[in-house]
Amino acid sequence: MNRKWKWITGVGLQRQIVKYVKGAVVDEPGTNNETIEALNYGGVEGTHKNNILAFDTVVAQINKNQPVLAAINWNNSTDGVGHMYVIHSR
């Protein structure tokens, strides 16, 4: 596995998905929008909100069995590169 593909580690068929999202198999980090595109490609509905979610909203999503993907972006990133964490009940 390429080291910068951590943004898609939890999704199967990495090479195929990276090629779909990036247009070629490249060793580059994924942006927030590319992560959503990869999720959608894998059949998982996802949207990107560029704001802070209230704690009650996160709890409501989790209670509906809809995990939240939290992004922590680097200060110097203009395209949403950083780390992502899945928040769920298990």
pLDDT value at position 2?
A: 56
Interhelix angle 14-22/32-41, rounded to 10 degrees, is 120
Region class of 8: left (phi > 0), else alpha (psi between -120 and 50), else beta: alpha
69 and 84 Cβ atoms separated by less than 8 Å: yes
pLDDT in single tens digits along all 90 residues of the chain? 455 656 555 545 788 888 899 999 888 888 888 888 988 888 888 777 778 889 999 999 999 988 888 888 777 766 667 788 888 887
pLDDT value at position 49?
A: 79
Q: Where are the domains of the chain?
A: 3-87
pTM over 0.95: no
